[in-house]
Structure 1
Amino acid sequence: MPFISRIQRQSDYNLFSSSTPIVIDNGSSYFRIGWAGETDPRVVFRNIVQRPRHKATGETVSIVGDHDPALMKYFDCTRSGPRSAFDSNVVYQFEIMEYIFDFAFDRLGANGSEIDHPVLITECVCNPVQSRSKMAELLFETYGVPSIAYGVDAAFSYKYNEQHGVCDRDGLAICPGFTATHVIPFIDGEPVYRGCCRTNIGGYHVTDYLKQLLSLKYPHHMARFTWEKVEDLKMEHCYIAPDYVSEAQLFQKGAKEAEDKTRCWQLPWIPPPAEERPSEEEIARKAAIKEKQGQRLRDMAEAKRQSRINELDNELRGLEFLLTQLEKVEECDEASFLSKTGYISKQEIESALMKVTQSLRKAKGEPKGDQAEIDEKTDLSANEKFPLINVPDNLLTPDQVKEKKRQLFLKTTSEGRQRARQKRHEEELERERRNQLDEVKRLENPELYREGLHAKYKELFEKIEQRKRLKTNGGHTNGNNLSGGVGRGERLNAAQRERMRLLTTAAFDRGKGEDTFGARDEDWQLYKLMSKDNDDDDDGPDEDEAELTRISSRLQEVDPTFVPKPEIGTLQSTEMPRLRPLTKEDFQVVFGVERFRCPEILFHPNWIGIDQAGLDEMAGVSIRRLPSRGQSVEERLTNSILMTGGSSLFPGMSERLEAGIRMIRPCGSPIRVARAMDPILDAWRGAAAYAAAPLFSTQTFSRMDYEEKGEDWLRRYQLRYTL
């Protein structure tokens, strides 16, 4: 089975005799394997397996632990993530465990699948019998191991440090591991498993918590927070606070000490290139290109205009020729001639001729002429254009009646347009006259004119806002001129409330007996009362708002310091946020409170939803669980507390743990907390020293014993650590 790894294969496997045990520290984070009697393991890798496919050949490969990043670009890892054989710290996926053993024995130098060396493998405290049985079956049946021994990793670490004088024969071993934390009491050098205590929290949860906090704080850098990088940041920057509340208050107040404890991780950042001012040649070149493009557009527009002029000119000639031919036709044949041309009457042809003439003048850019003259000609020719309007219907044929209706509609529309045009013309004249008067007043006294505009603007603004406020809540306020929680009736204005009153009155008057509303003429007066003054109520605000807009624009012209007031309910600033260029500070990840907040969950697991005891409480629980305990035994236990495991490397762990245990112990109790010499490798080193002892073979069980005694014998199997 092919492997992708940077770990070199050992070459001295055959130099060891078959009686030399193989020592395995099977942790949920890292897998360590080596030979008994040595000081360091030969092969160390992460205890995970990944099985991607090659992008070209489709071959499945096994990636165990650390891999070579240079080769990963050839494999598809999207469908195969890292998998672990552990659930918390108990092995339950033995298919994955087989891949790990294959890789470990291969890197140790084994040439085949048969392993002819005894094996000492570590396990968690009170490991389930089923997990032990499956592990024994895997090692015996698959690899042909002659004998196996099981031991607890924390116990091996405690015994190893006891040999070097770090702890006593009686004491507590506190092991905050990767996925779980254990407390094991030792009496006379042997662990008392009945007094053990466990919490399902460890370094994995600290890393995951830190990853969540950083992802929430810097969502635009979320891809940078890989598991491996966050693990490195945790081990490099995190620490245990002596007092969490006091430490958090330092950062809340922004004290100088908090600034000194803040760390910064600078992400890769390339400053944007400085914008250089273009040279004169470049400016001239761009101007020439722009002029060339503009000339091209002008040529296209001119060609389009000439084409339009030619079309209108041809249409004009056609209409003139049609009128000339129509004059030569007799009256009796006029209807048949017009039916062939598509026109109904001569007036329609003349109207079309007039429209084409105006369009042609507009296309050529000629002046339209006096509007009054055009209107006069239009009025004079109205009777000629609509000859059927004044003729009674009884003198007309059905087709002529339809034509009369069409002419009536055209005449009404034409008159409406003419009235609107006249109204616009009068409004424009009035506007010019008002502007001239304003300009005269401004020139006479600019200061007085400006103050008058400001006063009028303020008056109109307050009037409009008051009307909007009354329309919103019907005059109801909460003392601050703001709309409050009011009912539907209070949100109506005066006219709407009057209409509701009239309808309610009519309903009560007619509520008894048969509904006879509308039978009398006076009933219909109700609708006249309901529609009274509605136009004034609706048109007033529009005129005021138009006047306010005019005064606002005028003030902006004469007073540069004038700023229009925002409307009620609108945002104070409607400008779009301006994008600023990214700087070096935008690519910095700052660690402040996160440094001590994440490892604090080891003492308060309920912060992440784990309702269990913390490290300091676990020591008291473990002491209370001892079957026979006295004051002297408890004092000996608390006088030798050893911390081991990867999570005990946080700075400040010993002081915080000692202070926490002192809070739950009687006053004056001797408490001494020490950290293992190497919390990560001491478990393997203790197991290697134990397997090198001459009496180690008495603590193992062979394959023959397993086949003969079976799983029940594994249930009673316990390793003695004092040989």
Structure 2
Amino acid sequence: MKTQKYLREPQRFLIYDVRQYNNPLYEPASDRKPTLIQNDYNTEIPILIDYGSGITKAGWGNSTKPDLSVQSLLSKSKDSKTSITQALTSSKIKDVDLFKGNYRSPYERNIIQQFGLLENLNDFIFNEIGVVESKVDHPLIITEPVANPEYCRQNLLEQYFECYEIPSVMIGVDTFFATFYEFGQDRYQSETCLIISIGHTTCHIIPMVNGQIIFEEIKRINVGYFNSFEVLYKQLILKNNHQKHHLDYQTVQAIHLNNCSVAVNYDEQLKYLKLGTDGFQNKFYSNPIVRENNILTDLECLQEPIYIDFPIQQKIIDESELLRKQEIRQKQAERLKEAMQKKREEKKRAHEKELAELESLEIKFKEDQQSAKMVIEQYFGKGKGIEEVRKRIQKVKVKLGFLPKDTLEEDKYTLINIADSQLTAQQQKQKKLQIIQKQAAETRAEKKALEKQKKEEIIKMKTSNPEVYLNMLYEKRLKIIKKVDEKKKHQQELSTRNSRVNQKRMQTIAQLGASEKIGKDDNFGMNDEDWNIYIGIQKDYESDEENQEMKLNEIEIELREMDPNFDDKIKIGEVNPYGLSMQEPFIELSVDRFRGNEAIFQPGIVGVDQSGLSDVITFVLNKFPAETQAKLLSNIRITGGGSVMQGLAKRMERDLTSNFKVGSVVQVNLMSEPIFGAWLGMQKVYKQYGNKLNDYFISKQEYFEKGSSEGLFKSNPFSNVVIPY
């Protein structure tokens, strides 16, 4: 694959460096708690709450910054001791992941809809900032979004006055408070500017002319910061599924804030990432005059991919740890040997007991044939005689070592050399069976001879060519490890009832246990020995697993004797048992760096059928006269949590410059406090307006007199306007 040529060398970061970012979420420190509780005794100090669909900020009016900043998320949890279901805020939950777990927000889009969850959130806020009693005896200044529906405001006031018994409430728009903090009182009443509020799930374009908000020209886009982050998160998990244990919610959030950007020209940026500088070798870019007239993208604005490395975590094992592991392996080998010896002794005792019973049965047959015959038929089956008893005695004696193994071979194939004409139908069947058994025995004997020959060759190789022998041992060890892992995987699949492996096993067992005759003559299970098939299957599996463990221990003991560096190689083997390439894993951020943030300018990326931010701004500005339009273009202010996206101002300047006539001055600036500006603006209003604010508060007495009617709402310089029906 051809490597692209870029203007600059792509940057590489360690994941640990990426995770370091300024987290805007915090709770009051323990040493500040007494001061906060002291504020509760002064009922004149207001409580300021900036409700945001992403982050909620709250604090006392005399604080220099919000006392509390938490995500607007809650999760239901049942206490194990009291069995009471309680709502936990995101700050009380470790490693919040919006895409996993049962997290809910009081908001739908940017409007409060779940007032039960809002009550849980308010309980947490009042408790954390030091309100001691359930009654909140303080004035309240809160924020709401632009064009907040009347029924939402009514439900909110109902909760404050009836649930918390708050004496008075003032309501204002978060963006207007942030603008007041940025400009101050005098400029707020006279400024002409275009305010762009990029929130968690929405964007608002708000024109302000001579200190007056032009409400009829305010526009909303149903895409926000969260949508851009969601695109990045899903793309990274989809493309780097093998690294998803590293890509938790907090890490991707840090990547989004630190390493993602808004492309100045999205199409040109994609072209640069695909073709490098080779994609710009044409007349438009080589000729500076043509290039300037066509307003082409400055190559310096294009950005290269970023690589984030995930270093392999290897345990540093010292000599004492290696000795401890070696002792554990030796103990395991001894335990396996003891278990095998115990099984042998149990089998020996069982054979000795069986031999004693069979010999006593043979003696009993000599004394009383009739009663002995009944016992024989019960033991060996109907129609069996004393010959079966004697054969079984001989087999048991061979197993116990009382007779040589050849003894059985002599009497095993007695019918092979006899002609079929001299045999009965039953004996002919037995003859066929003996022929098959003899062929199998000869095959096993040949196999044993070959194995013996191989062992002799291996012994010779060990002395003559030790390096080849050592490599062979490593290969054997690797094969056994793979086989053991496959067995474990197979066992896990068997534990799942509906898995394909388990269903296949059940079919095999059913076929093994089925009779040749199907239907009325199916008598499987009538005899106890029919069920031995299940015991045999399980027994073979267990013994095979034990043998693999034994072989592995034997090979490792031999490897330690021959290779002094074996334990050092084990260090790598524990992390990488199959000898795969040990290069450090990484993820590449190329298109993903820009695609998520581009959703604000192209909402179709996330499935929203609306115009993008630059197009809507152009549409709004074209509604104003040329003089006012020029003033608005030259004073665009961006606020809201989403304004922290890198490259946002440059992109807007570039788009608006191309959308308006030549010579138009486009100036885009970020407000000084994009996240906490609304709360700080409320605090500034409280300090500068003083007693004048009393006219803007809705009192509890007015609420109980008028109810939740339209006449209850009081407009102020920072509020929405309510248009009567």
TM-score (norm 2): 0.57
* Structure 2: distance between partners of 1:689 and 1:357: 104
Given residue 676 of structure 2, which amino acid in structure 1 is its aligned partner?
A: L
Q: Aligned to 1:52, what secondary structure does the other structure show?
A: strand
1:134 matched to 2:150? The reply is no
Shift in Å, 1:643: 0.7
Q: Which residue of 2 aligns with 1:645?
A: 640
CA deviations over 1:442-471 (Å, ceiling 9, x no partner): xxxxxxxxxxxxxxxxxxxxxxxxxxxxxx
Contact (CA 8 Å) 1:190, 1:720: kept in 2 or not?
no
Q: 1:614 to 1:302 in 2, by over 3 A?
A: same
1:24 matched to 2:49? The reply is yes
Q: 1:374 to 1:193 in 2, by over 3 A?
A: closer
Q: Which residue of 2 aligns with 1:90?
A: 111
Q: Which residue of 2 aligns with 1:240?
A: 262
Q: What does 1:477-496 correspond to in 2, within 5 Å? A: none
Q: Which residue of 2 aligns with 1:623?
A: 621
Given residue 55 of structure 1, which amino acid in structure 2 is its aligned partner?
A: S
Contact (CA 8 Å) 2:137, 2:167: kept in 1 or not?
yes
Q: Aligned to 1:240, what secondary structure does the other structure show?
A: coil
Q: Aligned to 1:31, what secondary structure does the other structure show?
A: strand
Contact (CA 8 Å) 1:49, 1:83: kept in 2 or not?
yes
Bigger mean CA offset, 309-318 vs 199-208: 309-318
1:598 matched to 2:596? The reply is yes
* Structure 1: distance between partners of 2:407 and 2:122: 98
Shift in Å, 1:641: 0.8
Bigger mean CA offset, 633-642 vs 118-127: 118-127
Shift in Å, 1:90: 1.5
Contact (CA 8 Å) 2:206, 2:215: kept in 1 or not?
yes
Q: 683, 689, 692: which one pairs with 1:693?
A: 689
Q: 1:267 to 1:658 in 2, by over 3 A?
A: farther
Q: What does 1:56-71 correspond to in 2, within 5 Å? A: 56-59=81-84, 63-64=88-89, 66-67=91-92
Q: 1:269 to 1:352 in 2, by over 3 A?
A: closer
* Structure 2: distance between partners of 1:340 and 1:45: 85
Contact (CA 8 Å) 2:395, 2:408: kept in 1 or not?
no
Q: 1:273 to 1:653 in 2, by over 3 A?
A: farther
Q: 1:193 to 1:411 in 2, by over 3 A?
A: same
Contact (CA 8 Å) 1:6, 1:68: kept in 2 or not?
no
Shift in Å, 1:362: 7.4
Q: What does 1:402-417 correspond to in 2, within 5 Å? A: 408-410=424-426, 412-413=428-429
Q: Which residue of 1 aligns with 2:559?
A: none
Contact (CA 8 Å) 2:48, 2:61: kept in 1 or not?
yes
Q: Aligned to 1:713, what secondary structure does the other structure show?
A: helix
Structure 1 regions of 5+ residues with no counterpart? 73-78, 327-335, 387-407, 432-577
Q: 201, 223, 226: which one pairs with 1:201?
A: 223
* Structure 1: distance between partners of 2:79 and 2:374: 80
Contact (CA 8 Å) 1:269, 1:587: kept in 2 or not?
no
Q: What does 1:169-568 correspond to in 2, within 5 Å? A: 169-219=191-241, 227-228=249-250, 230-248=252-270, 261-264=306-309, 270=315, 276=322, 364-365=403-404, 366=406, 378=418, 408-410=424-426, 412-413=428-429
Q: 1:409 to 1:671 in 2, by over 3 A?
A: same
Given residue 607 of structure 1, which amino acid in structure 2 is its aligned partner?
A: I
Q: Aligned to 2:91, what secondary structure does the other structure show?
A: coil
* Structure 2: distance between partners of 1:219 and 1:87: 30
* Structure 1: distance between partners of 2:611 and 2:101: 36
Paired residues, number? 517
Q: 1:39 to 1:361 in 2, by over 3 A?
A: closer
Q: Which residue of 1 aligns with 2:674?
A: 679
Shift in Å, 1:153: 1.4
Q: Which residue of 1 aligns with 2:609?
A: 611
CA deviations over 1:142-166 (Å, ceiling 9, x no partner): 4454544322211222233234999
* Structure 1: distance between partners of 2:343 and 2:264: 76
Q: Which residue of 1 aligns with 2:499?
A: none
* Structure 2: distance between partners of 1:197 and 1:683: 20
Q: Which residue of 1 aligns with 2:39?
A: 13
* Structure 1: distance between partners of 2:374 and 2:157: 108
Shift in Å, 1:594: 3.5
* Structure 2: distance between partners of 1:49 and 1:409: 82
Shift in Å, 1:303: 6.7
Q: Which residue of 1 aligns with 2:717?
A: 719
Given residue 153 of structure 2, which amino acid in structure 1 is its aligned partner?
A: R
Contact (CA 8 Å) 1:172, 1:641: kept in 2 or not?
yes
* Structure 2: distance between partners of 1:230 and 1:417: 69
* Structure 1: distance between partners of 2:140 and 2:82: 38
Bigger mean CA offset, 222-231 vs 146-155: 222-231
Shift in Å, 1:141: 3.8
Q: 1:296 to 1:260 in 2, by over 3 A?
A: same
Contact (CA 8 Å) 1:315, 1:356: kept in 2 or not?
no
Highest CA radius of gyration, 1 or 2?
Answer: 1
Q: 1:111 to 1:645 in 2, by over 3 A?
A: same
* Structure 2: distance between partners of 1:126 and 1:188: 21
CA deviations over 1:484-504 (Å, ceiling 9, x no partner): xxxxxxxxxxxxxxxxxxxxx
Contact (CA 8 Å) 1:26, 1:32: kept in 2 or not?
yes
Q: 1:592 to 1:309 in 2, by over 3 A?
A: same
Contact (CA 8 Å) 1:237, 1:263: kept in 2 or not?
no
Shift in Å, 1:91: 1.9
Q: Which residue of 2 aligns with 1:660?
A: 655
Contact (CA 8 Å) 2:200, 2:225: kept in 1 or not?
yes
Contact (CA 8 Å) 1:133, 1:714: kept in 2 or not?
no
Q: Aligned to 1:58, what secondary structure does the other structure show?
A: coil
Shift in Å, 1:580: 3.3
Shift in Å, 1:240: 2.0
* Structure 2: distance between partners of 1:314 and 1:86: 87
CA deviations over 1:246-289 (Å, ceiling 9, x no partner): 5445655799x988722346697756788848999999999888
Contact (CA 8 Å) 1:23, 1:35: kept in 2 or not?
yes
Q: 1:204 to 1:630 in 2, by over 3 A?
A: same
Q: 136, 139, 153: which one pairs with 2:174?
A: 153
TM-score (norm 1): 0.57
Q: Which residue of 2 aligns with 1:125?
A: 146
Q: Which residue of 2 aligns with 1:553?
A: none
Shift in Å, 1:657: 1.9
Given residue 651 of structure 1, which amino acid in structure 2 is its aligned partner?
A: Q
Shift in Å, 1:119: 3.5
CA deviations over 1:327-353 (Å, ceiling 9, x no partner): xxxxxxxxx9x999999xxxx999879
* Structure 2: distance between partners of 1:144 and 1:281: 70
- Sequence identity (%): 22
Bigger mean CA offset, 410-419 vs 667-676: 410-419
Given residue 45 of structure 1, which amino acid in structure 2 is its aligned partner?
A: V
Q: Aligned to 2:666, what secondary structure does the other structure show?
A: coil
Q: What does 1:575-594 correspond to in 2, within 5 Å? A: 580=578, 593-594=591-592
* Structure 1: distance between partners of 2:660 and 2:193: 15
Given residue 152 of structure 2, which amino acid in structure 1 is its aligned partner?
A: S
* Structure 2: distance between partners of 1:587 and 1:251: 21
* Structure 2: distance between partners of 1:693 and 1:143: 26
CA deviations over 1:187-233 (Å, ceiling 9, x no partner): 11221111111122222223333333344345566576655554344
Contact (CA 8 Å) 1:264, 1:589: kept in 2 or not?
yes
